[in-house]
Amino acid sequence: MNKSDGKFLDSCRVDETNDFNGPVSKALYEYWNEKLQQSGENGPIFSDIDLIDIYDIAPYIVVKDILNGGENYLNRYWGTGIAQAFGYDSTGMLLSDYYDDAHIKQLHDLYELIVSAKRPIKISGNAEFYVNKEYLTFESAHLPLYDNDGKPKHILLGYDFNI
């Protein structure tokens, strides 16, 4: 699957793939895939993830909680490298705290794709959806995490910038 039509995020390409180019997204995918292989049919859960295991890339990681079956998303963790790149720390914030309605809709659609596919998603392009950062190029890995019953519970993201 490859989506480049802006449905999910303006000026971004969305690919269902396990082929990542950036060192952060590639390392995070490999770590997640290792946990996937160990997890059984329900997929990896949040408690399988230990940021100490991947401390060298932790500044470029985001963990989002899926609230009310996908009605909203809360940033549980927002790495310092992400905060520096985008100019703010949104730990503890909802999507509606820092996105406009159009981009919230795009992100809801994107996150729904990530958790329903139960596969890694690569997003790349220019971060035009961030005000004041329109020329920030990136690649990111978006990886689903589940609860013990196999229901989507979190999304694990890793970003590489200026790729």
What pLDDT is attached to residue 10? Answer: 64
CA geometry: angle 147, 148, 150, nearest 5 deg: 65
Count other Cβ atoms within 10 Å, centred on residue 98.
15
- Give the closest residue to 16 by CA, choosing from 143, 158, 119: 119
Instruction: Give me the residues of the chain with pLDDT under 50, please.
Output: 1-2, 4-6
The whole-model pTM stands at 0.87
Is 3:139 a contact under the CB 8 Å cutoff?
A: no
Q: What are phi and psi of 134, to 5 degrees?
A: -70, -15
What pLDDT is attached to residue 128? Answer: 57
What pLDDT is attached to residue 4? Answer: 47
